[in-house]
Structure 1
Amino acid sequence: MKPLIQKLPLDRQSSFVARTYTTPEFETPWHQHVEYELVLEATGSGTAFVGDHIGTYREGDVFLLGKNLPHWFRKKDQDTVASAVVLQFRDDSFGDSFWALPEMQPIHSLLQNAKQGIALDTGLREEVGRRLRTIEFLTGFPQLAALLECLHQISTSGHFHYLNHSPIVSYSVEDQNRIRRVFEYSMQHFQQKIRVQDVAALTHQSVSAFCHYFKKSTKKSYIQFLTEIRIAHACKLLITTDRTVTEICYESGFYNWSNFSSHFKSLVGMSPLRYREQGSAPYTRGG
């Protein structure tokens, strides 16, 4: 798919963008841009689409996204207010040779790996998050130093995990619009039975043509994509509600306990009950 290409503004007083985006500016549908992006989910929660990854995010989560990596942080409730602190910078923001300096090599390696999409783990997430909450109120060198300190801390800690496992590919505008319709329809109806022929109709294709097209575009089958959305929702309910596991099974769009349990263990690596008992972080597995 070819996501929306987003061109980000820079003013003459800063070499990078640091600002808080609040609903409706907070949420941009599936898009990409040439800038690297360091983002703190300041308020709200929802579903994270990063490359081929589908998972959940919640308040306090921090992500580092490589240039041109498609992403969409879709908030849980479309009627609620959500916000994110977003830092965006380019390869040449600080000069063509800046990242080649010996002192910058750990950060340079980190940015090269950011094409996979990086989610910070507990501890590091809180430390970097605290700095990001204040960085937009800084100016000049203190602001630049704060950004570099965040990147240095991430690059030397190793307390993060990767999200995306597929090459970054762009497709036509027509493909972009098709996939966006499929994504939105799936997010609105995943708790119900979804017929593949109905989804295929959104793209004006036959079922076989749609299945081939979707797999080529997203590197996963539509059924796999839908299952990952449902499991991500189940993980969210397990952590944030006291509903029974059986209730969550059905509320997540599954109509068979055995099927739900099998998919959950395959994607998350443990049973739903164990996931709840451990108080696990939001589901972040993808690929």
Structure 2
Amino acid sequence: MKPRFEQPPAAAGSTFASYTRRESAFAFGWHHHREYELTLITQGSGTRYVGTTVERYRPGDLVLLGPDLPHTFTSEPYEGVAEAAVTQFRHDFLGPDFFALPQFCALDDLLARSGRGLYFDRVPEEVRELVTRLPHLGAAAQTTALLDVLCRLAPGSAARHLTGPGYAPAPGTAVRDRIDAVCRHLQQSHTGPVHHEEVAALVHMSPTSFSRFFRNAMGRTLTDYLNQLRVETACALLTGTPLPVTEVAARSGYRNLSNFNRRFRELKGLRPTEYRAAHLRRTVE
């Protein structure tokens, strides 16, 4: 039940991997690896899971994830062909002491901050274009281009952390294993009834102990996290299907429409109908 450990192979003649991932839809694959991962969504929309956080993603989203930070991108066919430009590299891909050089202290800080995941807003179009081209460049050009991208992102004025400070990547620890088991279970079951006692039993804890454990590890209650999952599912249905709001609520795990509307507005600042209308306006524009 814990996230699968991946070991991405470096490309021939290089010390890191850069590729285009294209599928009809991204399947849920909770995993982690020792490499940093720079991911640019080039086509399609869906849901991004990073540590404690569940958010919608859309074309143009750029994130940098630090080593051993559990994550996955998932989507449905109705959300469009799923495509992303992905580059994975280790801290020593340019040599063991490269980022210790004084001229690269800003890059070293950027990589340190990525331990909680970074989302870059208002990224210049030329940076997105460069990230998109990375998988198609030769090894030498690819290396200098990646360094150029990191230098451009390093100031980080528009970067925000994706996951809370309460979640520290720690492969193999009992805390991480338990949290990962719970997150995978909830991803699969959140649209149906979820009972606190059953989730606690999944990790062999009493309900009281589990509540305290989950809040300490995730920085939020199980109910809060469950609502986040359900509201993000609702967002996908609102923007990807013509289903009426009552049906969206039911398919997202809410049996009470007023509760759905309240929770949705708390997390998104809009009513479900307003969220759908705003998405349609952005699509037209």
TM-score interval, normalised by the smaller of the two chains: 0.7 to 0.9
The equivalent residue for 1:62 is 62
CA deviations over 1:93-137 (Å, ceiling 9, x no partner):
11234324454343333222212211233x527544432332122
Judged with a 3 Å threshold, the aligned counterparts in structure 2 of structure 1 residues 101 and 205 are, in CA distance, closer, same or farther, namely closer
Determine if contact 1:40/1:60 at 8 Å carries over to the other structure: yes
Amino acid at match of 2:161: Y
Judged with a 3 Å threshold, the aligned counterparts in structure 2 of structure 1 residues 281 and 101 are, in CA distance, closer, same or farther, namely farther
Aligned length: 280
Q: Could you list the runs of 5+ residues in structure 2 that have no partner in the other structure? A: none
The equivalent residue for 1:138 is 137
Rounded to whole Å, the distance in 2 between the matches of 1:67 and 1:155 is 17
CA deviations over 1:24-47 (Å, ceiling 9, x no partner):
9x7673333332110123455432
- Deviation, 1:173, is 6.6
Determine if contact 2:110/2:156 at 8 Å carries over to the other structure: no
The equivalent residue for 2:41 is 41
Determine if contact 1:35/1:91 at 8 Å carries over to the other structure: yes
Determine if contact 2:11/2:18 at 8 Å carries over to the other structure: no
Judged with a 3 Å threshold, the aligned counterparts in structure 2 of structure 1 residues 35 and 125 are, in CA distance, closer, same or farther, namely farther
Rounded to whole Å, the distance in 1 between the matches of 2:169 and 2:47 is 21
Q: Which moved more, 1:255-264 or 1:270-279?
A: 270-279
- Deviation, 1:210, is 3.5
TM-score normalised by length of structure 2: 0.79
CA deviations over 1:131-171 (Å, ceiling 9, x no partner):
23321221133111211222223234734432112241426
The equivalent residue for 1:73 is 73
Judged with a 3 Å threshold, the aligned counterparts in structure 2 of structure 1 residues 30 and 176 are, in CA distance, closer, same or farther, namely farther
The equivalent residue for 1:152 is 151
The equivalent residue for 1:202 is 202
- Deviation, 1:278, is 3.2
Amino acid at match of 2:34: V
Task: Name the SS for the 1:279 alignment partner.
Answer: helix
CA deviations over 1:164-203 (Å, ceiling 9, x no partner):
1224142647666654443333223322222223333433
Determine if contact 2:120/2:156 at 8 Å carries over to the other structure: no
Which has the higher relative contact order, 1 or 2, with Cα contacts under 8 A spaced 6 or more apart? 1
1:272 to 2:272 alignment: yes
Q: Could you list the runs of 5+ residues in structure 1 that have no partner in the other structure? A: 283-287
Determine if contact 1:4/1:176 at 8 Å carries over to the other structure: no
Q: Which moved more, 1:176-185 or 1:28-37?
A: 176-185
Judged with a 3 Å threshold, the aligned counterparts in structure 2 of structure 1 residues 281 and 259 are, in CA distance, closer, same or farther, namely farther
Determine if contact 1:3/1:176 at 8 Å carries over to the other structure: no
Aligned-residue sequence identity (percent) comes to 34
Indicate the RMSD between aligned Cα atoms, in angstroms.
3.5
